[in-house]
Chains A and B, each alone.
Chain A
Amino acid sequence: MPPRRTKKLFGRIFFCFGLGMFVLIIAFPLYWMILTSLKTSAEIYTRTPTFFPRTLYLGHYVDIVKEGLPVYYKNSLIVATSATGFSILIAILAAYSLSHFRYKGRQALSQMILFVYLFPAAVLFIPLLIVVNFLGLTDTLSSLILVHPVFGVPFATWLLAGYFSTIPRELEEAARVDGCGRIGALFRVILPVALPGVVTAAVYCFLLSWNELLYAFTFISTESKKTASMWLSERILGDVYLWGELMAGAVLMLIPILTMYLLGQKYIIQGLTAGAVKE
């Protein structure tokens, strides 16, 4: 065999091996989680674990739902959708302003938003608790709706400003000649073109709110107002772990996120690299 072909073959084997390793590293924990949620408790706690489902047991899902997951799930949905809607709305307006208007201090504002995006909200949770108490929002879902956009707003503004600025001014001006106002131009011309950016920003905001734990832990104490991630987390901080139920809960937490990701995947990867890398 000529050396060139040997080299190529080695390259191929090396490549397949590498890809296989990555797939294994990523997929195994997920597979194990889903598999565990579908095993009976007896099968979960055997000394020799089974790697393929013997039966598909849905009892853990029934149990976790009976124990009240739907209540917390609903709370999470309320918080995440409200926080996302709020974030996207104000971010769209700000991004439009930063990308298509000229006024003094615009550059400085744009940099401040980037700075804030980089500022970790994790170090602010105690002063924010005091702010929330002061506003009379102690122990309410509203407190989370108010605070969750802290992660999403600067990111969404930054990402959307980048997207909007690639849309030529002439397009916007043409719309205005046709009788749209500036706001009309935003909704009829800019937003449809920048849809991938809007989808990415919305999914990202939703994801952050859906996952968020620290603020929920800090602000919420009433049982019926807990979010799903908080309620499930508290079950793992106790002493007895019902792994089947916990994994069933984890799978249920995952479903909305995975659905959104699969639907918007193309946009999201594009949007993420665009937001962080270039305009």
Chain B
Amino acid sequence: MKVGIEERKLGVILILPVLFYVMGIILFPFFMNIWLSFQKKRIGMPAEFIGLGNYVYWLRNPDFFKVLKNTLIYTFVAIALKFVLGLGGALLLNRDFWGRNFFRGFFLIPWILPTVVTCFTWRWLYDDLVGIFNFFLAQIGVGPIPWLSSSSLALGSVIAVNVWRGFPFFGILLLAGLQSIPAQSYEAAKIDGANTFQCFLYVTLPALRSIAMIAILLSTIWTFNDFEIVYLLTRGGPGYDSMILVPFVYEIGIRGQHIGRAITFPVLVFPLLVGLILITSRAVLRKR
């Protein structure tokens, strides 16, 4: 009996550091965030309670809706493209061919690159005057296209970079899903007279459902909260045409020093975010 109590104690002691850390660095700031959203606060100044003032400010501000719309477009378009590209890559890599392991490792490279490196490289590729994309277009008599400074193209251009960085993540997860499909499933379908496309539709896709769900949910959370790509490529410009949530909060809160106002924006999307996280964690736990 005594051993049991000792064991319990040791178990709790071992987890305490992570628990404290998580409380101090995540949960406490989370609640502080909500508290600060009711304050008028600038850096270095005392806070002043203004009730729902910050909320009213944003809900009356067209910038809020613009940034929210951009963030949603950024998230959904990027996820859709990452999924399609990732699935394509996973299907290719699931085949048996010479050098498969090499290609698998190679495939993940965009995802492990430091984002700063990715952003530099793409900004150089996109360059108006001497960028290589505009050089290729000039060869067929088009352009030059201002990829990052045109109000209609900027958001699309940053989405492309997000897709480039993120599709390998989908690819690797979906590949793991593909590998867990037993060969008998395909054989059975073939015996029933299914062609390759039907096999894909009725065997592959349903089998991938739960892993695809997890990949999509995880990536939604991360894409929604992306900072570097937009900030380093366009800084949200021109105007706010490619601005999304986190870089916007940074601009208002840190560069503009309106802490209370800036912090209210994420609080307004918290319900959405927390809902998403709860669904995701349920999906992950079910899988496990």
* Chain A residues engaging chain B, CB cutoff 8 angstroms: 15, 18-19, 22-23, 25-27, 29-30, 32-33, 36, 44-49, 90-91, 93-94, 96-98, 101-104, 106, 109, 111-116, 118-131, 146-147, 149-150, 153-154, 157, 162, 182, 207, 210-211, 213-214, 217-218, 229, 232-233, 236-237, 241, 243, 246-247, 249-250, 253-254, 257-258, 261-262, 265, 268-269, 272-273, 276-279
Contact = CB atoms under 8 A, between A and B. Distances in A.
B116 A94 contact: no
Given A22-B92, A265-B105, A236 B120 contact: yes
A124 B172 CA distance: 29
A249 to B, nearest CB: 8
Contact of A90 (B17, B95, B175): B17
A238 B224 CA distance: 27
A22 B92 CA distance: 10
Contact of B224 (A30, A94, A120): A120
Given A22-B89, A150-B26, A103 B8 contact: yes
Contacts of B112: 207, 257-258, 261
A127 B14 CA distance: 28
A126 B33 contact: yes
Interface string B251-280: 001100001001100100010010001101
Given A18-B88, A115-B277, A127 B29 contact: yes
A246 B120 contact: yes
Given A127-B36, A213-B227, A112 B29 contact: no
Given A130-B32, A247-B121, A97 B11 contact: yes
B285 A210 contact: no
Interface in B52-111: 88-89, 92, 95, 97, 103-110
Interface stretch (B122-130, B184-192, B199-207): B122-130
Nearest 7 A/B pairs, CB to CB: A101-B11, A127-B29, A120-B225, A97-B14, A94-B18, A273-B176, A90-B17
B288 A32 contact: no
A272 B220 CA distance: 18
A233 B21 contact: no
A29 B126 CA distance: 11
Interface string B110-151: 101111111111111101001010010000000000000000
27 contacts: A47-B130, A97-B11, A102-B11, A103-B8, A113-B22, A115-B277, A116-B26, A118-B218, A118-B280, A122-B225, A123-B246, A124-B25, A124-B29, A124-B33, A126-B254, A127-B32, A131-B29, A146-B25, A211-B116, A214-B250, A241-B123, A254-B114, A257-B112, A269-B105, A269-B172, A273-B173, A276-B215
Interface in B1-19: 7-8, 10-15, 17-19
A269 B90 CA distance: 13
Interface residues of B, number: 94
Contact of A30 (B17, B109, B211): B109
Nearest to A114: B281
A150 B24 CA distance: 10
A253 to B, nearest CB: 5
A182 to B, nearest CB: 6
Interface of B: 7-8, 10-15, 17-19, 21-22, 24-30, 32-33, 36, 88-89, 92, 95, 97, 103-110, 112-125, 127, 130, 132, 135, 164, 172-173, 175-177, 211, 214-215, 218, 221-222, 224-228, 231-232, 235, 245-246, 249-250, 253-254, 259, 262-263, 266, 270, 273, 277-278, 280-281, 284-285, 287-288
Looking at chain A's contact residues, the main secondary structure is: helix
A217 B95 contact: no
A211 B114 CA distance: 5
From B29, B88, B287, residue with most partner A Cβ within 10 Å = B29
B281 A237 contact: no
Given A120-B221, A273-B172, A93 B14 contact: yes
A102 B7 contact: yes
Contacts of A102: 7-8, 11
